[in-house]
Structure 1
Amino acid sequence: MTTEDRDSADPADDSRYEAVASRDARFDGVFFFAVATTGIYCRPSCPATTPKRRNVTFYRTAAAAQGAGYRACRRCRPDAVPGSAEWNTRADVVGRAVRLIGDGVVDREGVTGLAARLGYSARQVQRQLTAELGAGPLALARAQRGHTARVLLQTTSLQAAEIAFAAGFASIRQFNDTIRAIYAATPGELRSARPGRTGHAVRIAPAGGRAGIPLRLAHRTPYATAPVFDYLAARAVTGVEEVTGTPGRRIYRRTLRLPGGPGIAEVAERPGPAGGWLECRLQLSCLRDLTAATQRIRRLFDLDADPRAVDEKLGADPLLAPLVAARPGLRAPGAADPHEAALRIAAEPAGPGPSAALVRAYGEPLTEPSGGLTHLFPDPAALAGAALGELPPDRREPVRALAGALAGGSVLLDPGTDRDAAEALLAAIPGIGPDRAARIRMRALGDPDVLPGRDPAAALRSADGEAPRSEVWRPWRSYAFHHLRAAGSDRPRTTGEE
């Protein structure tokens, strides 16, 4: 492509260049730009001297820039920014594929496994991803592996072979070649170039003498950490979750059911206004589960959201404006385990007590307890045929039916699930109904545009009285729900409220 072709290919590129010239961090992760004269690609907020427009090419993903032969900038680290929030909103095959690739499906099951989950052929998936993103599933997975490897090289003391295994590479040679191609450096050079430590990081002390893998989970700012930790603390299920420490310096800990075995995640609340990351520590049975564990914690803490876009949209409504101003960057917590989230919503009339009873009766004990963490949440198969006498009588059959549907595969809740279809199937289960189905969609599937029907906000009318007020909140109704919930946190919780 010639310079003239690039300049005329897409009028939107001029707007993108303006974002680059102003170093606008709001577009980090939304697109990337590459510079022909340096062979490097960057995020829009890169502090380096703005290149001339004729030398710049724009890409939708880091993988597409890498596929075109560009190397990651060492100043702005474009591979480290949160992914575009667009993929959480989109329910088409491309959005679903991106979420599944992020969960490590290509590394575990290959492109054929990804295609099978999406209900398309491998060729169709390749074609659609390449047309939309400029990179196919293997390139997207390769970019993710490269980023994971860099983080491990610069934040841990793991040996290179362990890092290659944890990041999902098939061999040490593939690991070395990929690092050189993406960063123009050897793994050893990347490790020696690790950034200096800052005095603002919250360090998580190893639990039970186990060091684990320390990570920094990047996110866009602002991030309202206190409401998220309040939310998780109020709903923590004994044995599976715990929140320790004092407000402003709390540690959230939980067990994880991962493909290679049990894991434990710990995430620290940052004091004061949150910076661009949360400190996390992972203890894994199998290093290959690193990608899956990281993505599940990212979904739980809603780290891929675009808070400025959300706040701008919701803050324009006079009803929500004071709530948004009081809690800028409020997140909509997702789920570390979608099956667990769905079963908890089905089991709990109010509060986490019934779920804790299920854990005691049917949960899988950890080989060695860690603090207050003793069990994995019960697998759906363990609940499908159980008596469930630990639950209130009216919740037993709904939980059994949902557990059976999840165990049998008639209801799927993985990151690539068709959300509309899943909600319809959930609502049809006796005792689940539309309200709980919407709550499951919001948390287990991480849908940013859900407003459960029984919430009073659903009945609010727009200014002209012609339509539900919530229509103007699209596509961020889940965030509006959490603003309304947080503002009314002193009122009694209603049935099944999340």
Structure 2
Amino acid sequence: MHMDEDRAWIAFASRDRDADGRFVVAVRSTGIYCRPSCPARRPARDKVAFYKDAADAKAAGYRSCRRCHPDAVARDATAVARAAAMLARDGAVPLDRLAQAVGYAPHHFHRLFKRATGVTPAAYARALRSGRAIAALAAENSVTEAIYAAGHDAPSRFYAADAPRLGMSPSAWRHGGRGETIRWTMIATGMGPLLFATTARGPCRIALGEDGAALAARFPAATIRPGDAVLHDLAERVVTLAECPARSDLPPDIRATAFQEAIWQALRTIPPGTPCRHAERAASAGGAD
């Protein structure tokens, strides 16, 4: 895993709790490794090494700090993964019930989940539901059937929450982007290449592990064109706002879902008048959590 050691040092020096679980810090002079938020006195920068997790630090010969207990972070990761699986299985779950299921107090677990993934449990559930809605549009016989198959109890909820993320009408999406012109670009991220594609309405596809060929296969009836420098700059700006990678000890599918949702949330911060001027409208699905 590539690690930005300058950012890691800043997080360690400031005892940033949000960095816990993203990496561990090994102190060469003491032979121990710590959480980034460890309350112990900070050594000089040339006395520390950064590892992606406790296993790597142990393999390098370091032992766990008895003050900050970095190995306990694994319990938190397990709880977050269990909660994410519950959201995937059951849809939106009230925070109280979600936290109880994994053995944490609700307020503490809300902070823990966001610190681990970069998004709240509600935002993560929203991302899963949007994914189901998109899959259902292709699989069901009508838009109405797709709406209910995705878990919505009324069409109005779909049109308020998920439809703005399509970048086109649901009917056009069902018919392979018929009548749409889609421009796309690729952005390098800490989780790999990211496809960022948009129509005149706004972003229609934001996905890790896809490229222009995958976009053309998804929208065979659309006109697909490479984006220009303006689109690329916008996409880079949004990714920079969103990129606080989820913990490396979480399953890849959880990390990818959370990261892509964080990008949609970051789109809401782009001011009106910015190129791709409908991006903020397309990303406005859902309110504050």
**Same fold (TM > 0.5):** no
TM-score (norm 2): 0.44
Specify the structure having the higher radius of gyration (Cα): 1
TM-score relative to the length of structure 1 = 0.28
